Structure 1
Amino acid sequence: MSRRPRSAPAERDWGHDEVGCSILHVDLDSFCASVELARRPQLRGLPVIVGGTARGVVLAATNEARAFGVHPEMTMTTAVQQCPQAVVVPPDHRAYREVSAGIMRVLGDITALVEQVSVDEAFLDVGGARRRWGPPTVIAQRVRRQVREQFGLACSVGIGSTKLVARLASGHAQPDGVLLIPRAATVDFLRTLPVGALFAVGEKTQDALARWGISSVAELADADVSTVQHAVGRVAGAHLVDLAWGRDPRPVHPGRQERTVGAEATFATDVADLAVVEEKAHELADRCAARLRTNGLVTRTITVKIRTSDHRTLTRSRTLATPTDVGRELFLAARELVAGVDLRGLPVHLVGVVAEGLSPAATSIRLPTPDEASEAPERSRWEAERATDQLRGRSGRGPIPAGASQSGGVSSGSTTTIVPADLS
Structure 2
Amino acid sequence: MGESTLTEGTVLHADLDAFFASVEQRDDPSLRGRPVIVGGGVVMAASYEAKRAGVRTAMGGRQALRICSDAIVVPPRMHAYTQASRDVFDVFHDTTPMVEGLSIDEAFLEVGGLRRIRGLPSEIAAQLRVDVMERVGLPISVGVARTKYLAKVASAVSKPEGLLVVPIERELHFLHALPVERLWGVGKVTSGKLRAARINTVGDVAAMYEGELVQLLGPGSGHHLHALAHNRDPRPVVVGKRRGSMGAQHAIGRGHHTAEELDLTLLGLVDRVAGRMRTAGRTGSTVTIRLRFGDFTRSTSSHTLPRPTAHTLTILDVARQLLASRAAAIAEKGITLIGVSVGSLDDNPMQLALPIDVVGGATIDDAVDAIRDKFGSKSLRRAVQVGRPDRDAMPILPD
**Common fold by TM > 0.5:** yes
How far apart are residue 303 of structure 1 and its match? Answer: 2.0
How many Å separate the matches in 1 of 2:211 and 2:360?
A: 56
User: Offset at 1:118?
Assistant: 1.9
Aligned counterpart in structure 2 of residue 104 of structure 1, from 65, 72, 89:
89
Tell me how large the CA RMSD over aligned residues is.
3.0
Distance verdict in 2 for CA 1:108–1:243, change over 3 Å:
same
Amino acid at match of 1:302: V
Partner Cα distance (1:154, 1:199) in 2: 24
Cα 1:23–1:338 shift into 2, 3 Å: same
Question: Counterpart in 1 of 2:246?
Answer: 261
Counterpart code for 1:297 = R
Amino acid at match of 1:361: D
Give me the whole-angstrom Cα distance separating, in 2, the residues matched to 1:210 and 1:35.
37
Secondary structure of 2:363's counterpart equals helix
User: Is residue 104 of structure 2 the alignment partner of residue 124 of structure 1?
Assistant: no
Seen in structure 2, the aligned counterparts of structure 1 residues 389 and 207 have a Cα distance that, compared at 3 Å, is: farther
**Residue 18 to residue 121, structure 1, CA distance change in 2 (3 Å):** farther
- Tell me whether 343-352 or 321-330 shows the greater mean CA deviation: 343-352
1:58 corresponding residue in structure 2: 44
2:286 to 301, 309, 312: 301
- Measured after TM superposition, the shift of residue 168 of structure 1 is 0.6
1:206-221 aligned at under 5 Å gives the runs 206-210=191-195, 212-221=197-206
**1:348-359 paired onto structure 2 within 5 Å:** 348-359=334-345
Alignment of 1:4-403 (within 5 A): 18-19=6-7, 21-49=9-37, 51-53=38-40, 55-61=41-47, 63-210=48-195, 212-255=197-240, 257-267=242-252, 270-271=255-256, 273-274=258-259, 276-341=261-326, 342-343=328-329, 345-346=331-332, 348-362=334-348, 366=350, 368-369=352-353, 371-372=354-355, 375=356, 383-397=363-377
Task: Return the offset for 1:392.
Answer: 2.7
Tell me if structure 2 keeps the 8 A contact 1:322–1:367: no
Distance in 1 of aligned mates of 2:281 and 2:46: 30
Q: Which amino acid aligns with 1:396?
A: G
Q: Which residue of 1 aligns with 2:393?
A: none
Aligned counterparts of 2:330 and 2:135: Cα–Cα separation in 1: 52
Structure 1 stretch displaced more, 270-279 or 117-126: 270-279
CA distance in 1, matches of 2:329, 2:312: 25
1:316-338 Cα deviation digits (max 9, x unpaired): 22333333222223223222222
Read off the aligned partner of 1:258 and give its amino acid letter.
Answer: R
Distance 2:163 2:233 in 1: 21
TM-score normalised to the size of structure 1?
0.79
Compared CA separation, residues 215 and 181, structure 1 to 2 (3 A): same
The 1:70/1:351 distance shift into structure 2, 3 A limit, reads closer
Amino acid of the structure 1 residue aligned with 2:39: G
Q: Deviations over 1:135-163 (max 9, x none)?
A: 11111111122222223322221110010
Q: Which amino acid aligns with 1:57?
A: V
Provide TM-score, normalisation by structure 2: 0.84
Contact 2:11/2:148 (<8 A) preserved: yes
Which one-letter code corresponds to 1:94 in the other structure? H
Q: Is the contact between residue 44 and residue 251 of structure 2 (CA under 8 Å) also seen in structure 1?
A: no
Contact residue 172 and residue 230 of structure 2 kept, 8 A: yes
C-alpha spacing 1:387/1:215, structure 2 compared with 1 (3 Å): farther
User: What is the identity, as a one-letter code, of the residue corresponding to 2:363?
Assistant: E
Shift of 1:263: 2.6
Aligned residue-pair number: 378
Q: Which runs of 5 or more residues in structure 2 are unaligned?
A: 380-387, 391-399
Structure 1 stretch displaced more, 218-227 or 245-254: 218-227
Q: Deviations over 1:338-389 (max 9, x none)?
A: 2222417426433523225343423x6x4643x34xx498789x93222222
Matched residues in 2 for 1:291 and 1:113: separation?
A: 25
- Determine helix, strand or coil for the equivalent of 1:265: strand
> Which residue identity lines up with residue 217 of structure 1 in the other structure?
V
Residue 88 of structure 2 aligns with an amino acid whose one-letter code is I
Q: Distance in 2 between the 1:147 and 1:237 partners?
A: 38
Structure 1 unaligned blocks of 5 or more: 1-15, 400-407, 411-424
Q: Equivalents in 1 of 2:377, 2:136: separation in Å?
A: 26
Give the whole-Å Cα distance in 2 for the aligned partners of 1:271 and 1:295: 36
Mapped to 2, the partners of 1:322 and 1:214 lie a distance apart of: 47
Deviation for aligned residue 1:266: 4.2
**Amino acid in structure 2 at the alignment position of 1:97:** T
Question: 1:58-104 deviations in whole A, cap 9, x for unaligned?
Answer: 3231x322222123222222222222222223332222222222222
